[in-house]
Structure 1
């Protein structure tokens, strides 16, 4: 068997180093010169609206439930269609639906199954009928949507949030 030349051995060693060092060098270059890194946000709503946590909202009713992500929507007097829209979105979450609760603020009649209802004691200045908020498990607003938002955009954002924030293990849920 012929012995490889020292030049061939060095080329193989250089190629092996290149395979491992080239990705690191490319990643460093991307971070340093901001090449190939997207700058845009992907949320469809207004991200991190400057609103107080849900506990500080002037609400009367069943708004105190905690531990879940919340879809909160502000209903005008007659909002059966809006309540049905958000109920259908909740069902579209499938097996992740148990991680989200719905809160209807305002409106008339009993809430749809799986939702709770509250009403404004004194409407705050930032209130707008038809507005929708996604709140984290601590009650902080994460996303805000205007009345004319498409349901599939809210669903996409909510699925993205649930994917990025996995549910705690079953043992921790039972405590």
Structure 2
């Protein structure tokens, strides 16, 4: 019984150590790190590592791009609808801030719109009594002025969340 187990184990090891060789491929049986042998089988002395006899061709020189006849590039400033989405976010922030302040939206003028990457779901204006998801959120910081004060509205990328950062304290805007 033990003899059969040993034979099966040896057969399994022999089969797993064998790999497939493509027909016509030569097998290099020289151990790794050993010096190459000559046709007679005698070791050939070397002073250092064996270097390949062929060198790679140098990379081809790069050519300048050439225009194809009859093809002209077309340029657009923004894909259709994206400019409208940005201005829509500003209008929504202006309207929501005006409602929170109890003033007409026209009394607030736009000072600055800045793309932001907020470090957490507090949108750059965290409430110290709340915990926030630690995830990068793309959004905007939109600043308005009424002539005497400035107001910063922080938004997420979709404009679903808007916070008025009032003296460092967040006030949700709707």
Please state which band the TM-score falls in when normalised by the shorter chain: under 0.3
Q: Which has the higher helix share?
A: 1
User: Normalization by structure 1: what TM-score?
Assistant: 0.22
User: Normalization by structure 2: what TM-score?
Assistant: 0.22
